[in-house]
């Protein structure tokens, strides 16, 4: 029987609000068993970029990363946010270790090939070092991954944090029973963005395509759900999209992804 592993990706306004983030990390630190945390931080990166008079550009929920913006996202994701999260987890007696994909060569990526859109220094993940990550987990460390990867030729790359979570879950599902949860400020995927209670409880691939065609799912939710179905097809046991309350109450209303 495979050992259970929880992979939780935190993003949205939760990571931008210090109080919400602290409450989440307090709850997260109480989770039993093996755990991995993945975080985004796009809003903070945008805020810092604008202070430096750099204009961020987004296409279908994905950031276009030129050389200057790569410096910003590396500083924000792998530095400011990652280390603040690790420090808060340590405060709650969760022995966390902050990582980018370059650390321990844990996540190797390639610069995205230019097709219709040039995303700049965006990284598409090629491999995940399951062995190294397993050593950390088995020694009671909680890896905290940011959205920075590398190509093993000295080049850092910006990789969507939802993709990082999905690829980690897919790779680790070979040896663990993986539960993947995307946590943000909403209760789940909403049918009406203005109605907090219009939660779509179950979404399969056909339903997702219909919701996308109807414009109900758009922007940053697109790569999130695309990554969910990749993970499901790669043997991840369960995938949820929920708010922070899901950590302490698995029975609350939320969105579950199904094949």
- Domain-by-domain residue ranges, the chain? 3-257
Residue 13 has a pLDDT of 86
Read off the pLDDT of residues 137-153 as tens digits, 9 standing for 90 and up.
Answer: 999 999 999 999 999 99
Residue 103 has a pLDDT of 98
Residue 259 corresponds to which tokens in the numbers above? 């094949």
Rounded Cα–Cα distance for residues 43 and 16 (Å): 7
What is the arithmetic mean of pLDDT over 229-254?
96
Task: Give yes or no for residue 132 having a pLDDT over 70.
Answer: yes
- The torsion defined by the Cα of 124, 11, 79 and 5, in degrees rounded to 10, comes to -70
Residue 61 has a pLDDT of 67
Residue 115 has a pLDDT of 87
Nearest Cα to Cα of residue 7 among 222, 239, 255: 239
Residue 154 has a pLDDT of 97
Read off the pLDDT of residues 34-75 as tens digits, 9 standing for 90 and up.
Answer: 999 999 888 889 899 999 999 888 887 678 899 999 999 999
Please tell me the total number of residues recorded for the chain in this structure: 259
Annotated binding site: 41-42, 63, 158
Residue 240 has a pLDDT of 98
Q: In what order do the strands lie in the sheet with 148-150?
A: 123-128, 107-111, 148-150, 156-158
Read off the pLDDT of residues 201-236 as tens digits, 9 standing for 90 and up.
Answer: 999 999 999 999 998 888 878 888 999 999 999 999
**Terminal Cα distance for the chain, rounded:** 23
Rounded Cα–Cα distance for residues 142 and 8 (Å): 11
257 touches 221 (CB < 8 A): no
Annotated binding site for substrate: 41-42, 63, 158
Each as own residue / partner, the long-range contacts of residues 224-230 (CB below 8 Å, 24 or more positions apart, any chain) are 224/61, 224/162, 224/182, 225/189, 225/257, 227/160, 227/162, 227/163, 227/165, 227/166, 228/166, 228/180, 228/182, 228/257, 229/205, 229/257, 230/166, 230/170
Residue 222 has a pLDDT of 86
Other beta carbons within 10 angstroms of residue 61's beta carbon come to 16
pLDDT averaged over the chain?
Answer: 94
- Provide DSSP, 102-121: TGGG-EEEEEPPPSSS--BS
Q: Interior CA angle at 112 toward 107 and 117, to 5°?
A: 150
Other beta carbons within 10 angstroms of residue 242's beta carbon come to 24
Read off the pLDDT of residues 9-31 as tens digits, 9 standing for 90 and up.
Answer: 998 889 988 999 999 999 999 99
Task: Give yes or no for residue 184 having a pLDDT over 70.
Answer: yes
Read off the pLDDT of residues 69-114 as tens digits, 9 standing for 90 and up.
Answer: 999 999 999 999 999 999 999 999 999 999 999 999 999 999 999 9
Residue 126 has a pLDDT of 98
Rounded Cα–Cα distance for residues 240 and 195 (Å): 20
What CATH class does 3-257 carry?
alpha beta
- Provide DSSP, 10-43: E-THHHHSHHHHHHHHHHHTT--SEEEEEE--HH
Residue 210 has a pLDDT of 93
Residue 119 corresponds to which tokens in the numbers above? 């995303």
């Amino acid at each position: 029987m495979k050992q259970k592993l929880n992979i939780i990706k935190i993003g949205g306004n939760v990571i931008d609000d210090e109080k919400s983030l602290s409450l989440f990390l307090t709850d997260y630190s109480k989770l039993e068993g093996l755990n991995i945390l993945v975080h985004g931080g796009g809003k903070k990166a945008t805020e810092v970029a604008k202070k430096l008079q750099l204009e961020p550009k987004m296409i279908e929920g994905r950031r276009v990363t030129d050389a200057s913006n790569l410096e910003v996202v590396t500083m924000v994701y792998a530095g400011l946010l990652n280390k603040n999260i690790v420090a808060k987890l340590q405060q709650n007696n969760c022995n966390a270790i902050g990582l980018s994909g370059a650390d321990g060569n844990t996540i190797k990526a390639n610069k995205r090939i230019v097709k219709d859109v040039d995303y700049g220094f965006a990284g598409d993940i090629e491999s995940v070092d399951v062995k190294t990550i397993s050593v950390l987990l088995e020694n009671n460390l909680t890896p905290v991954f940011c959205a920075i990867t590398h190509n093993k030729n000295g080049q850092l790359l910006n990789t969507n944090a939802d993709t990082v979570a999905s690829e980690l879950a897919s790779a680790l599902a070979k040896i663990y029973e993986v539960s993947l949860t995307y946590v943000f400020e909403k209760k789940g995927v909403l049918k009406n963005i203005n109605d907090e209670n219009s939660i779509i409880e179950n979404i399969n691939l056909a339903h997702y395509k219909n919701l996308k065609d109807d414009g109900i799912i758009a922007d940053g939710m697109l790569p999130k759900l695309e990554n969910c179905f990749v993970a499901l097809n790669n043997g991840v046991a369960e995938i949820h999209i929920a708010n922070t309350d899901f950590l302490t109450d698995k029975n609350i209303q939320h969105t579950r992804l199904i094949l």
